[in-house]
Chains A and B, each alone.
Chain A
Amino acid sequence: MLTSAFTEQIFVSGKVFELITAMIVAILTYVAYNYGKQGRTWEIRQLDALEAIYDGIGRAAETGRPILMLPGISNLGNPQTLAGLTLFGEISQRSAEIGVDAIASASNTAVITATEAIVRGAYTAAGKPEMYEPGKYVRWFGADQFAYAVGAAGQIMATKPSVILYAGYFLFDVIVSGDTGSRVGAVQIGGTLGSMEMISMMCDHIFIGEELYAASAVITKDEMAIATVAGQDWIKLLAAGLMVLGALFSMAGSDAILNLIGV
């Protein structure tokens, strides 16, 4: 075949389907971006852990105990930290409105600065700028992973929060703060793409995988963020479709789809 000889001169054999996949992902990403730019939005399905956060704010108001928020051990370049901080902004504002203390601590100094700014913004947005005091809501315990965990554990014992939110990048350090949280009987809610199994052991409600990003998109209601989530959904749907189709073919005894993928 003329075309196949021609393509073999240009494309590395066996990599063509990979390239096509890359192209499709690129096109879908671009389409989603354009939709977002035009202001089109999609409704995101209910996320149980997010509902639990809203319930938790109410519970904190009833018990008069604060809410503690931990955005993890990574820096501002990590999308998980940013998603965590978005959640914190929302909680901080809602808490400020009903007079609950929302406190936080982080290990990275840039994250601390950003968190402080978020709290200040939340109190201003809630119409209570006079309630904001620098350094009252955000604490720093050191840059090391375990120094942070031990510091947070001390903070949990001292303040006895009613709700603890772990949202950001965590590794095994979460075991120390998570165990302490369970000791004071706090409702723990968490989401990470780091040590997800430990978060899920310690927390009553969890964001599984990318639910964390979806939650932050729901809260910001930012068209671009929602469009990114939607764009990825289309790709996942395509992947699922390919799997179902391939599975049916494969069960019928045909390797057509497998050969097409060529892995």
Chain B
Amino acid sequence: MKIPELSSRTIWAVVMIVYIVTCTIPIGASFEMSDITIEIYEFIDDLPEGSVVFIGGSAVFAFDLESSASLIACLKQMERKNLRIVCAPFGVEAVQFHKYCIDASGVMESRGGTWVYGVDYVQLPYMPGGAAAYVALMDDIHTAVATDVAGTPLNDLPLMQEVLNHEDIDAWICPHWAFDMIVRYVVAERDIPGIYFAQAAAYANYVPYMMAYPGMVWMTNGFLGGAQYEKLEGVPGLGTAVVDSYAIMSVVYVGFIILGNITMYQNRDEEEEIIQ
């Protein structure tokens, strides 16, 4: 039997059906834990109570959605460990992204958690200026930003009275695309450990940093890393759902590659027959 050359629309229809089926009927695929995700989890677990963790970077929300899986689980872990966080947005959509993750994780008192705004968590306003903003913030937080996102002066917030400059930051979590800025101005220049909940497409670009700063930089890999973190914290979410549908999709994808090659070899035989 001869396999015909498939049109793009046919392929898209198959892919669409696969997604609809996998989104409505989860197969509950199990997955393995990776060493680095466990290392990150243990690092956060080992931070002393009351440590200050900064979350921030330059954001494109749609890409960062991938990191939200790990971040939401990590926020729950940090709430459980009584850590305190400051969100530092360096992209125009970062404020929205931070709010999305905080809301979804339910760590705030208003959503059933234990965190109180100003005491356990502060949201800084958007900080423009790229590299200069990171450098200014590390140098002196109160000079770099005067108020929080709602316009309250930083000095009126109990948490910010204790957090003055880079020496008061115990770790930096980057759930955003531009991790290079964090490595340059936070990890390398100020010796603050950096954790990157990497988007899968960015993982390969930034993985050399993990080798260049061993014991200072850790990265999880995409939704798979998110699913692993969710499993560690015991809160299945977007990461688990995505990995579930990806299990089928990866096979379909490879199937199409194989089909393409079979079609090519078939046609090549045909071409040879015509020549003979």
Contacts and interface: CB of A to CB of B under 8 A. Distances in A.
Interface of A: 179, 183, 197, 263
A145 to B, nearest CB: 12
Shortest Cβ-Cβ A-B pairs, 5 listed: A183-B8, A179-B8, A197-B204, A197-B201, A263-B212
Interface in B148-207: 201, 204
The majority secondary structure among interface residues of chain A is helix
Contacts of A183: 8
Interface of B: 8, 201, 204, 212
A240 to B, nearest CB: 16
Nearest to A195: B201
Contacts of A263: 212
A71 B189 CA distance: 36
Contacts of B201: 197
Contacts of B8: 179, 183
A179 B15 CA distance: 15
A81 to B, nearest CB: 20
A162 to B, nearest CB: 19
A263 B189 CA distance: 11
B167 to A, nearest CB: 17
5 contacts: A179-B8, A183-B8, A197-B201, A197-B204, A263-B212
A197 B204 CA distance: 10
Contacts of A197: 201, 204
A29 to B, nearest CB: 21
B218 to A, nearest CB: 19
Contacts of B212: 263
A77 to B, nearest CB: 15
Nearest to B201: A197
A144 B153 CA distance: 38
A179 B11 CA distance: 12
Nearest to B188: A263
A179 B8 CA distance: 9
A245 B272 CA distance: 54
Contacts of A179: 8
A133 B5 CA distance: 39
Nearest to B63: A172
A102 B8 CA distance: 27
B271 to A, nearest CB: 15
Nearest to B212: A263
A31 B8 CA distance: 54
Contacts of B204: 197
A197 B200 CA distance: 12
A211 to B, nearest CB: 18
B217 to A, nearest CB: 13
B82 to A, nearest CB: 35
A183 B260 CA distance: 13
A184 B204 CA distance: 31
A263 B188 CA distance: 9
A225 to B, nearest CB: 27
Nearest to A196: B205
Nearest to A182: B8
A121 B12 CA distance: 43
A183 B9 CA distance: 11
A179 B201 CA distance: 19
Nearest to A183: B8
B100 to A, nearest CB: 22
A179 B204 CA distance: 23
A86 B269 CA distance: 42
B12 to A, nearest CB: 10
B89 to A, nearest CB: 21
A155 to B, nearest CB: 17
B13 to A, nearest CB: 15
A143 to B, nearest CB: 17
Interface centre among B201, B204, B212 (most CB of A within 10 A): B201
